[in-house]
Amino acid sequence: MRSLICLLPLTLLAGCTEVQLPAASNANLDPVAFFTGASHGDGRFHQVLSSPHGVRVDSNGKPQANGGLLLTQRIAEDGKPPRTREWVITPAGPGRYTGSLTDAVGPVELTVSGPRAEVRYSMKKGLKVTQELALQPDGLTVLNHLEVHKLGVRVAWLDETIRKQPR
């Protein structure tokens, strides 16, 4: 009971809202096609009991022979040294992908429905991550909303705009 009482203030601070990003109404997001080549993301990272800070992500995606993608990202967060991570995404059926991520513990699951994709994976220390990606009408921009939960409580979130870079 005592631990529940301790979690209550965090629950109130973290909020429990589900975000529905605006998306192109008549387009389909192809994550392999969108993330092939260079893209750049700018966002704000929020963590419970901390000040929000800027995040910049430069990505380079290479298509794989199996129809998947190898995506290398350089992440620069305000106040932290830059780091690099890799995603490997492999088709697993219509609108479904599986894969791995440097930061993840276990598999990454990606489900596409029209202009939206949902990404789910787990991280160390019991953290669960959910992302919503939403293709915008210009076909060159994706909005990304990421949430991190621990014990069912949202402890961090990121809102980012990702733009394809010219070749």
d(CA 94, CA 112): 9
| Per-residue confidence (pLDDT) for residue 52, from 0 to 100 | 96
Provide φ and ψ at 7, rounded to 5°: -80, -25
| Per-residue confidence (pLDDT) for residue 107, from 0 to 100 | 97
pLDDT band at 117 (very low <50, low <70, confident <90, very high): very high
What does the pLDDT average to over 97-104?
A: 97
Q: Which of 110, 128, 106, 127 is nearest to 119 (CA)?
A: 110
d(CA 13, CA 102): 29
3-state helix, strand, coil in the chain (%, to 5): 15, 55, 30
Residue ranges per structural domain of the chain: 2-31+41-53+87-164
Q: Which of 78, 6, 4, 12 is nearest to 45 (CA)?
A: 78
pLDDT digits (tens, 9 = 90+) for 146-157: 999 999 999 999
d(CA 13, CA 139): 35
| Per-residue confidence (pLDDT) for residue 22, from 0 to 100 | 74
pLDDT band at 167 (very low <50, low <70, confident <90, very high): confident
Under a CB-based contact definition with an 8 Å cutoff, are residues 152 and 15 in contact? no
Under a CB-based contact definition with an 8 Å cutoff, are residues 19 and 102 in contact? no
- Average of per-residue pLDDT values in the chain: 89
pLDDT digits (tens, 9 = 90+) for 6-58: 443 443 334 444 667 877 778 899 999 999 999 999 999 999 989 999 999 99
